[in-house]
Amino acid sequence: MGLPTLLERRLVIVTGKGGVGKSTVTAALALLAARAGKRVLVCEVNAQERIAPLLGAPPSGYATRQARPGVHTVNVTPAEAMREYGLQVLHFRTIYEAVFENRVVRRFLRMIPSLPELVMLGKILNEVRAEEHERPRWDLVLVDAPATGHAVQLLRVPSALVGTVPAGPLRRDAEWMEELLVDPDRTAVALVTLPEEMPVNEAIELDGQVRGELGMLRGALFVNAMPDTRFSPEEAVRLAPLAAAAPPLGPAARAGRLYAIHAEQASRHLARARAALDLPTCVLPLLAVPEWGLSAVEAIAAAIAAAPPGSAP
Ligand SMILES: Nc1ncnc2c1ncn2[C@@H]1O[C@H](COP(=O)(O)OP(=O)(O)OP(=O)(O)O)[C@@H](O)[C@H]1O
Ligand SMILES: [Mg+2]
């Protein structure tokens, strides 16, 4: 039997270059998983909250809130995660307050550069292993991860700590966290890109880091905002001489030509991404919608459902 499909895993981390559609793809995956009967938690990482609004719900902040049936959201921040971690490890609020809210200790904690990442990741991974009534609290935890470099920085913290800190509670935490991240049965990374020069370059580089340095499984590639093919190559050629015609034909022909060139370039970048990444790929349409919200996310979810990663192109 092969590996479980993307949404059958317990933890899916969605990342890619800034602005390529990570939050949109995450929200769409959450809708699809919930529709399949899963209890889903979507975590944002210290973000300007996007997921709940994209699902048509008010922002959840650090509290875990239901955004839609089957989908909860939470925005994980370092301060709140630190507080939760402190309370969990030290158990007693008074001790927490004496230790963590002591000015000297706080200055010391700020000197450990990866501590915010550790506690935020710890909060997220704890949700993956949390149980309620003797079953997992969530069937699927989706992470709307930060863009490329910051995502790698976040995901690298456990392995970096395993290699540097002495045996003890911090090292034990780092160990189980790393174990979960590199387990291909439970965890996968989904890469998102646009069919454009720089986002594809960045996705290729990121893919190398996920495979190499992080040793994590890449489960899928989403190529977002793909323009459809409106003109055959012959038609595109015939648009050129029309560009000089009087309005409205001339401007319409120029707009058509621009679109045809964009679509042609996009298909080259898509082909380049497919060839370089060799991943189950899902191509999502460029949508013409004035307001980016739930209906756009629903349309993207429908496109994923119609041709999920790995189905024939
Ligand atoms: N398929 C699409 N068609 C048209 N526009 C899109 C598409 N996907 C995303 N967009 C546009 O791109 C914007 C950014 O999308 P989104 O917030 O999902 O990206 P992101 O990668 O999460 O960005 P950030 O790096 O800022 O978190 C959306 O608000 C929308 O305007
Ligand atoms: Mg986002």
Q: Name the residue ranges covered by the structural domains of the chain.
A: 6-77+132-306
Q: Is 243 exposed, middle or buried (0-12, 13-18, 19+ CB in 10 A)?
A: middle
Residues in Cβ contact with 93 at an 8 Å cutoff, skipping those fewer than 6 apart: 87
Specify the pTM. 0.93
CA 213 to ligand 2 center in whole angstroms: 24
Nearest CA to ligand 1 atom 25: 18
> Which residue minimizes the CA distance to atom 7 of ligand 1?
225
**Per-residue pLDDT at 1:** 39
Q: Is 121 in the pocket of ligand 1 (CB under 6 A)?
A: no
List the beta strands (DSSP E) in the chain: 11-16, 40-45, 65-68, 71-76, 131-132, 135-136, 140-144, 187-193, 218-226, 281-285
First to last CA, the chain: 23
Reference 297, options 73, 11, 121, 136; nearest CA is: 73
23 CA to middle of ligand 2, Å?
4
Q: What is the dihedral of CA 61, 65, 70, 75, to 10 degrees?
A: 20
Tokens representing residue 46 in the block? 């210290």
Q: How far is the CA of 47 from the centre of ligand 1 (A)?
A: 14
Would you state the structure tokens that stand for residue 273, as one six-digit string? 């991404």
| CATH class assigned to 6-77+132-306 | alpha beta
The whole-angstrom separation of Cα 123 and Cα 132 is: 16
Q: Is the dihedral of CA 273, 36, 305, 298 positive or negative?
A: negative
- Cα(137)–Cα(64) distance, rounded to whole angstroms? 12
Nearest to 11 by CA among 175, 146, 176, 182: 182
**Proximal ligand: closest to the CA of 44:** 2
**What is the whole-number distance in angstroms between the Cα of residue 21 and the centre of ligand 1?**
4
Angle ∠(230,232,235) on CA atoms, nearest 5: 100
Tell me what pLDDT residue 162 has: 87
In the predicted model, residues of the chain with pLDDT beneath 70 are 1-4, 89-100, 104-113, 312-313
Name the nearest CA neighbour of 171 among 184, 91, 179, 17: 179
Give the closest ligand to the alpha carbon of residue 54: 1
Number of neighbouring beta carbons within 10 Å of residue 241: 9
Cα–Cα dist 10/40, whole Å: 10
Is the Cβ–Cβ distance between 119 and 82 less than 8 Å?
yes
Sheet holding 218-226, edge to edge: 65-68, 71-76, 40-45, 140-144, 11-16, 187-193, 218-226, 281-285
Report the DSSP beta bridge partners of residue 282. Answer: 222
Q: Considering only CA atoms, which residue is closest to atom 28 of ligand 1?
A: 292
Report the residue among 23, 154, 286, 300 best suited for mutation to probe ligand 1: largest number of ligand atoms under 8 A from its CB: 23
Q: CB neighbours (10 Å) of residue 107?
A: 9
